[in-house]
Structure 1
Amino acid sequence: MKELLTAVRELRAHDVPEVLAGMDREERRAALAELKALRKEVRGWHWDKQDRVRRALLVAGAGCHTGAAGCASWIGGRDLAGWNRRPFPLVLAALADRDPKWLGDVAHRLAARPATAQTMYELISGLVKKARCPVPTTDGFVLGWAEAISMAQWHRRKKRPLVEVLRSDPYAPALLPRLFEVPELPSQMLWPDDANDPCQWATTLAALPGEGLLERSALVDGCATRLLRGGKLSELRFFLGLLRKLELTEQEETERLADWIGMAADGASTVAGHAQGVLTRLDGRGELTVRALADVSASVLFRTEKKLVRSQLVLLGKVLRRDPSAADELLPVVAGAFEHEDIDIQERALKLVARYLPAAGTPVREELALSAALLGPAHRTMVAEVFGGPAAGTPGRQEYEELLPPVPDPQLLDPAPATLPELVEEVVTLIRSATPDVTAFERALDGLVRHAHSDRSALTDALRDALAGEWWLENEPPSQTERQLRSDAEIRLVVATLLGRVSARAVQEERASWTGTGTCVHAALNGILRARLWEAADAVLSGSTPFLLAVPTWHTGSLDPAVLVERLRACQRLGVRPGEADFAQALLRVRRGDQHGAAEAAALLGTPEGDRLAAWLRADEPLARVHRFDLEKRGREGQTVVRSSRALMASQERSFIQEEFPRSFHWLGRPQVPAHRQCYHWDDHPNQWTATLPEDAETLAAWLLPNIATGVIEEIQDTLGPLVLLTELDASAGEAVHLMVAYALGARHPEDRLSAVDALLMLATRQQLDAVLLGEQLADLLGNGLIKPSRLADSARTAAATGAYRTVLSTLTGALPGLLAREKAPRGLGDLLSVAAECVEHCGAMGGGEPIPGLAETAARGGSSQLVRQAVRLKAAWEQDSDRA
């Protein structure tokens, strides 16, 4: 036993199996108790030493366990999983003398654990071979098997065809069918498939029925099931490609009619397109009933993909041409396309209904007339021609009313928790929350300072009990915990200081040395937060500070100047000097603009802080003035020198900040000019950033704009976090905020475009939207290729659909002239014209009816392209509304 423990402590993992071979059952059981104690001791070691001892500890513990359950639990322990390759061959050597049945039990227990089944495939496979037991078929083991085969093929550089590997693999018959049932395939299976390469998975699986390794029906059913289930696009492409390689027979297609209907209705675009093609073939063979066609069409016509909807209308037209008697069943389904967002599809559906309306019965005609009456003004003439009656006499556009979201009321922030249990509950929630709320953070921080001032001992005891089990409170050596927490920017830093996990010396060192300077706005704002946290940590240690000044009054982070004056008066009465970072943050949060009364009251205090507050309110200046700055960049595309320009903003120097504020705030007062160098903080703490500068949305937008622009141009998802927060602030929105919205409206990802639409509508509802400015900026971005018209059209259509037609139209009229003037129309311009036309049909023309420059010339080009048709539509709607006016 002593020799075993020595080998483990000396990190000699390779010697452990040999030592174990000389130990009997009782000696191993005794050694196991010592190994468990050592395992617990290792958790407190430095991470580097921990990692080196894990290998020997894992092998020794596995060999000393006599029960299969205990052995599997030991091997699967998360704390024994090192960074380096695990010593599975040594574990197998340590277990070489065990009974095969026992080894099989361990293998199946490991395979049943999701945390180990895939990552420990090599070990489980080795145990199965030694035990000669049935192979496990759990999801994790199947994934591990497929991954191991793929990687082996990669390292062999594909010298041996994959089909031969599977033919000789003893696990293949049991595991191949399970590939269609696991939640996700290994990424290695999804690597691009070359039809001429016999080592790729899709090609190989398609050939397996001929090898007798997998039944063809299992392959076809497996593919259909996965395509119906949905999932990642890469996996859907894999199974769709495999299905196509199988080249289904007519009988196989007919047997799976319900599957094709389900895929066409709910599948991803590529899957639905394939299913639609199969349904077309089934109809051509007379194997698709009218009832089944109606059912699937009712779903497909409500899809957003225009290509799918157009194809379905074509199929419906073929069936109606062949069998006009199906009009009663199919035409009401066709009318569902009247609700599609694309006017071209609406027109196609209306023409199809008009062509076969005579074959429909009276009840169906009445139903279709009601549906057609809901079509927009662009179709009124045709609706009148088809149905006659009331549609022909439809009155002109009624008085339009813009629909915007309600103006959000500022929500008053509750005071800090008054009782100790309330405070402890909030602090624990904040510490254990993945995305802590900024208002809860401010209340809890103030509460910690207040309760530490009144009864620090009770606060410490309550927090220690409530936070038992936190990693930074237990197991870790104090010096290591302190080192990790020193870079923290969360309330945990203050709590850890209060509980003795961060020393008073560290607090003083950080307060004295921390400057908060950074190379970007994110580092600067995070630095301000850290400076406040270190100052609060010092306050809870000394207990000399009764409360914090910078706690916001409203949920946006803004602070009422009258409230700040009262807090300063209370400090004067108590003889307390506020913290520098706390007071500086209060100044940045205090409401400015027509605050003469608060300025006079602050000056009457007769304290340095009162005088500074009075001067700050009287100056009523933005934190920094901003101006447009186009960042030029030169590069090469082959032999061609390419110049690009990115529209950004720069800020001017504010010397007052550098003279009167603490060092951690000085970045805010320096002149800032965008550079080609980019940081990648993205959305670390967007709520904290806006709450730090709630009165300076324009300045903050200018500083955050480079990352927003980069996220949109490089098509990076989830980089628009600060956008909606900025537009919700009760502060003026100028060129920087509008430019940020302009970029965001052209984002690639739909979720980001929804955020942009929310921001646009928020500016409009707060009467901060300058539509002319936004239109000019959009034209600029479109002209420089920084955003795409098709994406802008999608955002504009979404915003208009909420009822904000005039807001959208006033923005588009500024962006369209530049696009219409181009010799070659950019892709997606027709969609933009379509949205503009829809807006005019709802809310009327803008600018006193003056035509949009370039629109008449585009409409006169002739032809039937989407661009020309929408230009004609917009021109007609504009002129009609102008004539009516």
Structure 2
Amino acid sequence: MSDDLITAVRNGHHRAVPPLVLKLDRAGRRAALAELKELRKEARGWDWQRQDKIRKALHVAGAGCHTGAAGCAGWIAGRDLRSWSRSPYPLILVALGDRDPAWLGDLAHRLAAKSLNSEAEYTFISELARMAACPIPTTDSVVEGWSERISTARWHGRSGRVELVEILRSDPHVAVLAPRLFEMRELPAQVGWYETPDTTDHWPAALRALAADGVLDRSQLVERCVTRLVRGGKTGDQRFFLTVLQQLSLTEDEERAHLRDWTGMAADAISVVASHAQDVLARLDTRGELSTRELAEVSGSVLFRREKKLVRGQLILLGKVLNRDGSTAGELLPVVAEAFGNEDVALQERALKLIARHLPAEDAALREELSFAAAQLGPIHREAVTALFGEVDEDGAVEGPYEELLPPVPELIRLDPAPGSVAELVEEVAAQLKSRSWQGSTPGALAAASGSSAFERTLDGLVRLARADRAGLTEALWEALAGTWFMEHGIDQQPEPSYVTTSEALSLVVGSLLGRVSYQAVVEGKSRWTGAGTCAHAALNGVLLARAWEAAGDVATDRVPFLLATPTWHTGALDAAELVERLRTYQRLGIAPGPADFSQALLRVRRKEASVAAEAAAALGTAQGDRLAAWIRADEPVAPVLRHGLTSDRPSAGNWWQRSASGVRHVLLATKERPVIQQEFPRSFHWLGRPHVPDSRSCYHWGAEQCPHWLATLPEDGDTLAAWLMTDLLNTADEGPRGGAWFLPPLVETGGEAGVALHLALAYGLGARHPEDRISAVDALLVLAAQRRLDSALLGRELAVLVDHDMVKVNRLADAVRTAAATGAYRTVLGVLAGALPTLLAYEKAPRGIGDLLALAAECAERCGTEGIEPIAGLAATAGRKGASQTVRQAARLLKTFTE
């Protein structure tokens, strides 16, 4: 009978499997299971079409033949048994139809503990629970699958879309599973989604209705919402729980019972939650249920926040309490003074006026305390502070000329030589192959440097020791890498050898050394890989892969003693004199350099102040020596960058579409042709020498890779790299994911001119969508300034161009430059803003956030002076406008620093 089952599985007759399983006794099922396991192993080596034919039948048969619930759950959850076709679960339920209810319940709970969170898995588990007459499991996976089933049911009703609350009312598990939403680490995506902002057909409204019906316990919902809001979490989840809480309309008693929770939310929660908590606290104060001590405690935290609306609201609340009861001044006014540390001048002024209005004349100790706090206020408030407190000592004031605080200039770090022993090299190889850490996933200069440096040292070590101790190296590598997929299968089983990715570059070389990649495959890969591609990422990847295929051939034939392109320093740069010595060794041994290896060495060699090395290279009398000498003497960028030709001198007062060239929102740079690259370098390098026009279309590399080898490919041509990778930054400033500006800090450590491309890249980074990307840009800005390579005026003009093309939002820019100024780089920031403000001040309607930029520029000017800074066009006209807006007031403040 088991033979019939195995035959049915091999033929892919999945519908015939359940009856055949049910005919087997316990011993027969065990025997059949052993054969099914062997078949499963065998199928893993088949092509996918053949696997797919038997997959569903194998899935059903194995589940039905398992006699233990644990084994059955593991078989059902097997990823290699999943099929693109319809779910096999109905057939599995039939095959399990003769099992004991307790066994089925055990299976349901074991499956619920696994990461099976789709609608199909939920339905299967719920059916198992029904057959077992046991409660449905309530794991996160089950709740996710349940919410997906609810979402699907909304759009598949017989009469069109069905109201969510009606579906939930009819669901048998809603009373058990809905409360679990408040305990999950993250909400299912479909729960927090709603069609329009003003819709009522969403989960919060439905949960409120279920609480009103008595299906859900309202008091439990309130408690769980408050708990989640206090705990914090993803912004979308927090908004969901807040909406549920607002839908439940808390009573006065419930608000009073959670006083401590509101103070915690006001202090630490996201803005929208903190604002709600602030409103509740205001109501509690109105009802006399908020003590002065409690108000002072929460106010100290809220006034420390950066959100102006929250700080302003708290000052208003404090003002109301002080107006109502002047005896609270001694306790509340020191808290009001916390606002002096806020970056917004208007909030500082509001706090100062509040103190002036309520400061008791007879309390000398309080006056002294507040006078000390007021010393941190800038010169704009000096007159008001003096009138209130008399002359005060400025906290931390230092006599003498202003001194800019910038980070130390990064020094070149010389790389350690390649691993010299088999044990050391094998340890490096194993670590990188098992983690692929060389490719890099953490933004930053150190991460980029460590990733590419480790790979380069290891690659050179493989070439060296393959020639010096092949037997010892291969034996140690076999032992260290035993059991890995690559060692089991090799690269020859891939459909096309030249499709190897950069993450597999080291695997390719190791595989060639150990015979897991045939020499024929290496020869074929070297001849086919040309680095062709439509984007810079593919071209830079192509350079690395060309070197990897070449190194794979070198380790197979022991052709070369070492690699020429191994960097000298952490940036990827190569010392010219060191490269000459390597070429001299090749000449003595009678070895011709690998074309890709030598070409990469040329791209890495430091051309600056290398005239002596050029003479030594020419003296070698070899073709490679002559090429090296000519390359150094030419001292030209790999691809010269062309300016974009856009201007911001006369910004359009029109709308977004009119300000965007031809309706396209991008500012990118073209690069010129470099014929020598196409004439003398291998095909894999030719893209680098072709002319390239700007293209804002995203490629498949965007947002997915952070490859340090991109920078290490052209470590002496930062401006060229900036132009080629500009699309990544454009997307980072617009709608891209986090981390797109990861390469800015290491980019400013590259050599070559810091031209328009590098400054435009910084401008995009300073206006990036996500704070962490803006921080990366600030780091790069400060390092460039410390190197004395920053052109502040140029950066300011590029920022103005991006604002004019709606690629950078002023409020994001303000956040970034404020962070830079806070490090002590006031003159650097003032120079940048002085270059950007003329354009922004020329708009008929001031851009949102311009007041913040003006305030920051005024603060910088007050601290460092305006010597060497040209007067800002349009500043006087803005300061002379009617009204007392933030823009007008801060323009007047900045203008005063120039006139004084």
Shorter-chain TM-score tier: over 0.9
Q: Does 1:454 align with 2:468?
A: yes
Bigger drift between 157-166 and 713-722 goes to 157-166
Q: Deviations over 1:546-575 (max 9, x none)?
A: 100000000001111111111111111112
**Structure 2 length-normalised TM:** 0.93
Letter in 2 for 1:239: F
In structure 1, distance between residues paired with 2:502 and 2:431:
17
Aligned-pair distance for 1:391? 4.7
Aligned-partner SS, 1:479: coil
Q: Does 1:570 align with 2:585?
A: yes
In structure 1, distance between residues paired with 2:179 and 2:363:
52
Aligned-pair distance for 1:195? 9.5
Verify the 8 A CA contact 1:631 1:674 in the aligned structure 2: no
In structure 1, distance between residues paired with 2:754 and 2:197:
56
Partner residue, 1:863 = 883
Aligned-partner SS, 2:340: helix
Letter in 2 for 1:831: D
Partner residue, 2:442 = none
Letter in 1 for 2:881: R
Verify the 8 A CA contact 2:302 2:314 in the aligned structure 1: yes
In structure 2, distance between residues paired with 1:61 and 1:710:
48
Aligned-pair distance for 1:237? 1.8
Partner residue, 1:101 = 102
Verify the 8 A CA contact 1:383 1:391 in the aligned structure 2: no
In structure 2, distance between residues paired with 1:388 and 1:116:
68
Q: 1:103 to 1:720 in 2, by over 3 A?
A: same
Partner residue, 1:883 = none
Bigger drift between 12-21 and 424-433 goes to 424-433
Aligned-partner SS, 2:360: helix
Q: Does 1:287 align with 2:289?
A: yes
Aligned-pair distance for 1:745? 1.5
Q: Does 1:722 align with 2:765?
A: no
In structure 2, distance between residues paired with 1:165 and 1:709:
44
Aligned-pair distance for 1:197? 6.9
Q: 1:160 to 1:584 in 2, by over 3 A?
A: closer
After superposition, where does 1:85-164 map in structure 2 within 5 Å? 85-115=86-116, 120-156=121-157, 160-164=162-166
Verify the 8 A CA contact 1:630 1:645 in the aligned structure 2: no
Aligned-pair distance for 1:393? 13
Aligned-pair distance for 1:676? 5.3
Partner residue, 2:83 = 82
Q: 1:13 to 1:540 in 2, by over 3 A?
A: same
Aligned-pair distance for 1:322? 0.7
In structure 2, distance between residues paired with 1:195 and 1:782:
29
Partner residue, 1:505 = 520
In structure 2, distance between residues paired with 1:161 and 1:705:
47
Structure 1 stretches of 5 or more lacking a match?
881-885
Partner residue, 1:64 = 65
Partner residue, 2:336 = 334
Q: 1:108 to 1:676 in 2, by over 3 A?
A: closer
Aligned-pair distance for 1:541? 0.7
Aligned-pair distance for 1:495? 1.3
Verify the 8 A CA contact 1:655 1:670 in the aligned structure 2: yes
In structure 2, distance between residues paired with 1:370 and 1:107:
67
Say which of 687, 695, 704 aligns to 1:667.
Answer: 687
Letter in 2 for 1:480: Q
Partner residue, 1:36 = 37
Q: 1:761 to 1:487 in 2, by over 3 A?
A: closer
Partner residue, 1:585 = 600
Q: Does 1:471 align with 2:485?
A: yes
Partner residue, 1:765 = 786
In structure 2, distance between residues paired with 1:252 and 1:541:
76
Q: Does 1:441 align with 2:455?
A: yes
Verify the 8 A CA contact 1:481 1:501 in the aligned structure 2: no
Aligned-pair distance for 1:379? 1.5
Q: Deviations over 1:356-377 (max 9, x none)?
A: 1117833332221111112222
Letter in 1 for 2:72: C
Q: 1:250 to 1:194 in 2, by over 3 A?
A: farther
Question: Over the residues paired in the alignment, what is the CA RMSD in angstroms?
Answer: 2.5
In structure 1, distance between residues paired with 2:783 and 2:22:
74
Q: 1:299 to 1:743 in 2, by over 3 A?
A: same
Q: Deviations over 1:671-706 (max 9, x none)?
A: 222245443423635411111111111222222223
Aligned-partner SS, 2:854: helix
Partner residue, 2:868 = 847
Q: Does 1:653 align with 2:673?
A: yes
Letter in 1 for 2:681: F
Say which of 777, 796, 809 aligns to 2:817.
Answer: 796
Aligned-pair distance for 1:13? 1.2
Bigger drift between 498-507 and 545-554 goes to 498-507
Say which of 538, 541, 545 aligns to 1:530.
Answer: 545
In structure 1, distance between residues paired with 2:290 and 2:4:
77
Bigger drift between 315-324 and 777-786 goes to 777-786
Bigger drift between 811-820 and 785-794 goes to 785-794
In structure 1, distance between residues paired with 2:198 and 2:452:
57
In structure 1, distance between residues paired with 2:382 and 2:675:
64
Q: 1:603 to 1:96 in 2, by over 3 A?
A: same
Bigger drift between 309-318 and 789-798 goes to 789-798
Partner residue, 1:519 = 534
**Structure 1 length-normalised TM:** 0.95
Higher relative contact order (CA 8 A, sep 6+): 2
Q: 1:567 to 1:143 in 2, by over 3 A?
A: same
Q: Does 1:819 align with 2:840?
A: yes
Bigger drift between 428-437 and 767-776 goes to 428-437
Q: 1:637 to 1:674 in 2, by over 3 A?
A: closer
In structure 2, distance between residues paired with 1:223 and 1:580:
65
Say which of 791, 806, 820 aligns to 2:827.
Answer: 806
Q: Deviations over 1:6-39 (max 9, x none)?
A: 1111111111101112111111111111111112
In structure 2, distance between residues paired with 1:841 and 1:869:
15
Q: Does 1:836 align with 2:857?
A: yes
In structure 1, distance between residues paired with 2:201 and 2:723:
53
Partner residue, 1:875 = 895
Q: Does 1:352 align with 2:354?
A: yes
Q: 1:44 to 1:143 in 2, by over 3 A?
A: same
Q: 1:457 to 1:762 in 2, by over 3 A?
A: same
Aligned-partner SS, 2:644: strand
Q: Deviations over 1:113-162 (max 9, x none)?
A: 34569862121111101110122122222222222122222222765544
Verify the 8 A CA contact 1:397 1:842 in the aligned structure 2: no
In structure 2, distance between residues paired with 1:28 and 1:715:
54
Partner residue, 1:750 = 771
Aligned-partner SS, 2:607: coil
Say which of 723, 726, 732 aligns to 2:753.
Answer: 732
Partner residue, 1:305 = 307
Verify the 8 A CA contact 2:463 2:555 in the aligned structure 1: yes
Bigger drift between 429-438 and 287-296 goes to 429-438
Bigger drift between 256-265 and 705-714 goes to 705-714
Q: 1:268 to 1:394 in 2, by over 3 A?
A: closer
Q: Deviations over 1:83-134 (max 9, x none)?
A: 4443110110000011111111111121223456986212111110111012
Q: 1:813 to 1:530 in 2, by over 3 A?
A: same
Say which of 377, 383, 386 aligns to 1:384.
Answer: 386
Partner residue, 2:652 = none
Partner residue, 2:254 = 252
Q: Aligned residues: percent identity?
A: 58
Partner residue, 1:277 = 279
In structure 2, distance between residues paired with 1:394 and 1:152:
66
Structure 2 stretches of 5 or more lacking a match?
439-450, 648-654
Bigger drift between 605-614 and 410-419 goes to 605-614
In structure 2, distance between residues paired with 1:360 and 1:141:
67
Q: Deviations over 1:412-457 (max 9, x none)?
A: 0111000011111111121223541100000000011111111223
Verify the 8 A CA contact 1:655 1:669 in the aligned structure 2: yes
Say which of 709, 718, 723 aligns to 2:730.
Answer: 709
Verify the 8 A CA contact 1:679 1:707 in the aligned structure 2: no
In structure 2, distance between residues paired with 1:115 and 1:643:
46
